[in-house]
Amino acid sequence: MQRESLGGAYRILTFRHPEVARAARPGQFVMIKAGRSAEPPLRRPFSVMSTDAEAGTFSLFIKVVGPGTAALDALPSGGEAECLGPLGRPFPVPAPDRQPLLVAGGYGVAPFLMLCRRLRGGARPPRLFYGGRTAADLPLAGRFDPELLVPATEDGSLGERGRVTAPLERHLDREPSGELFACGPEPMLHAVARIGARLGLPTWVSLDPWMGCGFGTCLGCVVRTQTAQEPAPKHRCACTEGPVFDASCVVWPGEERSLAAERAREPVRQ
Amino acid sequence: MTAAAIRTAPDLGVELAGLKLRNPLIAASGTFGYGVEVAEIVDLSTLGGLVSKGLFLEPRQGCPTPRLAETPSGLLNAIGLQGVGIHHFVEVVLPRLVDCGTLVLVNVCGDTVEEYAEVTRVLDGRPGVAGVEINISCPNVRQGGMVFGTDPRMTHAVVAAVRGATKLPVIPKLSPNVTDIAVFARASAEAGADALSCINTLLGMAIDVETRRPKLAFGTGGLSGPAIRPVAVRMAWQAARAVEIPVIGIGGIASGADALEFLIAGCRAVQVGTANFVEPGIYTRIAQELREYLRRHGLERIEQVIGTLESEA
């Protein structure tokens, strides 16, 4: 493990793992734990931020917030961790006729460095709406092409002041098309899902529920989903059937049904 | 491996309720899916056996989220027996488990005594099923589960009903949420159980002090992991002393030494639970640690360790 501190609680941790380095796709994750001690008990899921297939390494962008991340951060340089991956379903390849609009909140930006790299050669250049509390909470801002980046902070210390969904909505007012990809706190994802549903845009969200195993056995990380075709709500594992979900099929906290099911209930307008 | 090494490799095989296990390590119900999910990352032939996730007659969606909370050296869960239902299991999943390389025990559930028997009848005679574990100890469902496992008359009724529905080995999984587990061990044996699984999770609760809400959506949950191991060893030991039928020890096992505590206490096999989430390939390591122990103590077979606790109180 090699550590790079980005100030505050933010770190980039790089590990040697040829399989993850070779196979990881944007939006996939690894389950990782520092050592075998019983504390903390579980591995933690992290989106893969970047890979270097030649060096056989991958990097994670983490914010040290609790015992799992603290234990990883406390690994000595060159220390080892238990790691399983790559896991989960990646972000889908965007439709060629749609501009990819990426929306990141805080450390939810992690999968977008790799996604932007993948999209660089595409027909439509992506755009990244990257929000956080302060400039210090956007430590990866300098690693994105400035032409693609639209930052927003709650205190106005970087980009415009306010929520990241405000510049996204203004952009969509001018050009109501594209395909949305979002990763970040749940309220932000829910807001992006509503925006996407209102404009009828394909919208993909990467969800981050508590995860026990990462490979579909503990059933701890399930997400309540509901499609227009299958109106009975279903629990799907975020680890094996996600973490990327079609936002219109997610039954968001506080809602009775998914946006897709809601739309299917509306009377057909003449 | 050389011929000499094969001759001297200690034998981890155990016999349990008429079943021959390659080693005494079984994957615990609810921590190994239906086996097929794990087969991609774990060589199932490194296990002595596996127990499926609990199954009712019908599919279940289980509890709302959050379903997990980490606690000191432990895991609190309220999954609520989400599952595909016994019919889907026997038609779609079980055919993939025939010749999977290990013994498959199926964990059966019910809201009523009759449902336990009916689920068992659906399983009976299907190729690929080595035995039935009876879930009378899940703390995360409103009906069934622990309700049957905390009343000895109900325990007797469920075990007798399942016993009447199959010739397969019948193994009730007992709850630790009782004052005297020996009472439940005896009730199970009298009703015709072939072995006992001891123990399921301990009923627990964790609270988020910022929101003042339970950390689990269900409110309470079942505690597992190394945190419960001393309680589990004590209860497995009590059960093993109370009955003639074999006991399978369960609770916080994550190493060879952990497994040996249960074997020495009198268990004929053990189940590994929460550790499956943290270290999916754990069986190879535990088996290796058991062999090293046997070599170090000059023993040839793991059976020589079972029930050898010194200076019992």
CB-based contact, B69 to chain A, within 8 Å: yes
> Using one digit for the tens of pLDDT, what is the confidence trace for A18-45?
999 999 999 999 999 998 887 899 999 9
pLDDT of B135 above 70? yes
Set B109, B138, B198, B267: catalytic member? B138
- Are B64 and A224 a contacting pair at CB < 8 A? yes
Q: Is residue B312 part of a domain?
A: no
pLDDT band for position A73 (50/70/90)?
very high
* Mean pLDDT of the B49-54 span: 97
Measure A267 CA to nearest chain B CA, in Å.
29
In a domain, A94, yes or no: no
B contacts of A233 (beta carbons < 8 Å): 61
Cβ neighbours, 10 Å, residue B99: 8
Whether residues A77 and A107 share a domain: the answer is no
- If asked whether residues A53 and A144 sit together in one domain, one would say no
* Chain A residues within 8 A of B69 when measuring between CB atoms: 210
Is the separation of the CB atoms in B269 and B243 below 8 Å?
Answer: no
Mean confidence (pLDDT) of chain B: 94
pLDDT band at A270; cut points 50, 70, 90: very low
Among residues 18-57 of chain B, which lie with CB inside 8 Å of chain A?
Answer: 30-33, 37-38, 40-41, 53
Q: What is the pLDDT of residue A262?
A: 86
What does the pLDDT read at residue B128?
95
- Shortest distance between the Cα of A237 and any Cα of chain B, in A, equals 11
Q: Which residues are registered as beta bridge partners of A223?
A: A236
Closest-CA residue of chain B to A233: B61
Question: What are B240-253's pLDDT values in tens digits?
Answer: 999 999 999 999 99
Q: Is the peptide bond before A195 cis (omega within 30 degrees of 0)?
A: no
The answer, for A33 touching chain B at a CB cutoff of 8 Å, is yes
Chain A stretch 239-258, residues whose beta carbon is closer than 8 A to a beta carbon of chain B? 240
Residue B313 domain-assigned (yes or no)? no
pLDDT tens digits, one per residue of B64-74: 999 999 999 99
pLDDT bracket for residue A265 (50, 70, 90): confident
A-B Cβ pairs (cutoff 8 Å, strict): 88
**What residue of B is the nearest CA neighbor of A209?**
B66
Q: Is the pLDDT of residue B307 over 60?
A: yes
**Number of compact structural domains in chain A:** 2
- Identify which of A42, A82, A209 has the shortest CB distance to residue B70: A42
**Cα separation, B193 vs B211, whole angstroms:** 45
**Do the Cβ atoms of B61 and A233 come within 8 Å?**
yes
Task: Give a yes or no: residue B311 inside a domain.
Answer: no
How confident is the model at residue B272, as a pLDDT? Answer: 98
Of A212, A222, A235, the CB nearest to B75: A212
Same domain? For A198 and A234 the reply is: yes
A269 pLDDT band (50/70/90 cuts)?
Answer: low
Residue A191 within any structural domain of the chain: yes
Whether the per-residue pLDDT at B2 is higher than 80: the answer is no
Strands (E), chain B: 14-16, 19-21, 25-27, 49-51, 68-71, 74-77, 103-108, 131-135, 170-174, 196-198, 202-204, 207-208, 213-214, 221-224, 247-250, 269-272
Average pLDDT value over all residues in chain A: 93
Q: What is the pLDDT of residue B45?
A: 96
For residue B312, the model assigns a pLDDT of: 55
The fraction of chain B above a pLDDT of 90, given in percent, is 92
Q: Does residue B196 belong to any structural domain of this protein? A: yes
Q: Write down the pLDDT at residue B143.
A: 74
Q: Does residue A136 belong to the interface with chain B, where contact is any CB pair within 8 Å? A: no
Judge whether B267 counts as a catalytic residue. Answer: no
A52 and A10 in a common domain: yes
For residue A92, what pLDDT is reported? Answer: 95
Chain B interface disruption, residue of A39, A208, A210, A241, most B CBs within 10 A = A210
Residue A250: which residues within 8 A CB-CB, separation 6 or more? Answer: A193, A205, A207, A223, A224, A225, A258, A259
Look up the pTM and report it. 0.93
Distance CA B20, CA B89 (A): 24
Please tell me whether residues A143 and A42 are part of one structural domain.
no
| pLDDT range class, residue A230, cuts 50, 70, 90 | confident
pLDDT tens for each residue of B167-200: 999 999 999 999 999 999 999 999 999 999 999 9
- Indicate yes or no: CB of A217 within 8 angstroms of CB of B33: yes
Q: What is the C-alpha separation between B31 and B35, in angstroms, rounded? A: 9
Would B37 be classed as within a structural domain? yes
Any domain includes A270: no
Lowest mean pLDDT among A115-124, A132-141, A249-258, B279-288: A115-124
**Domain encompassing residue B141:** 3-304
Rounded to an integer, what distance in angstroms lies between the CA atom of residue B184 and that of residue B113?
Answer: 16
Is residue A163 located within the same domain as residue A248? Answer: yes
CATH of the domain at A14: 2.40.30.10
Residue A93 inside a domain? The answer is no
Question: Contact B278/A43, CB-based, under 8 Å?
Answer: yes
pLDDT at B313: 56
Residue B235 lies in a domain: yes
Q: Evaluate if residue A136 carries a pLDDT over 70.
A: yes
Mean pLDDT of A240-257: 95
pLDDT of residue A228: 85
Q: Are residues A113 and A73 in the same domain?
A: no
**Mean pLDDT to the nearest integer, A160-186:** 95
Domain boundary among A87, A115, A142: A87
Task: Verify that A121 and A52 share a domain, yes or no.
Answer: no
Q: Is pLDDT of B4 > 70? A: no
A187, part of any domain: yes
As for how many domains chain B has, the answer is: 1
Query: Which one of A31, A62, A87 terminates a domain?
Result: A87
Specify if B66 maps to a domain. Answer: yes
Of residues B147 and A269, more confidently modeled: B147
Q: Which of A248-257, B44-53, B231-240 has the lowest mean pLDDT?
A: A248-257
Chain center to CA of A28 = 9
Question: A52 near A86, Cβ under 8 Å?
Answer: no
**Residues A69 and A145 reside in one and the same domain:** no
* Contacting residues of B for A41, CB less than 8 Å apart: 70-71, 73-75, 225-226, 274, 278
Q: Is residue A221 part of a domain?
A: yes
Query: What's the rounded mean pLDDT across residues B270-290?
Result: 97
Interface test with A, best of B50, B68, B210, B255 (most A CBs within 10 A): B68
Report residue B161 CA to chain centroid gap. 20
* Closest-CA distance of chain B to residue A244, Å: 18
B310 in a domain, yes or no? no
Supply the pLDDT for residue B144: 73
Domain that holds residue A225: 100-265
| Tokens found for residue A165 | 């969904």
C-beta contacts of A35-40 below 8 A and 24+ residues apart:
A35/A71, A35/A80, A35/A81, A35/A82, A36/A82, A36/B279, A38/B73, A38/B225, A38/B226, A38/B254, A39/A67, A39/A71, A39/B72, A39/B73, A40/A66, A40/A67, A40/A68, A40/A71, A40/B70
Any idea what the CATH number is for the domain that residue B184 is in?
3.20.20.70
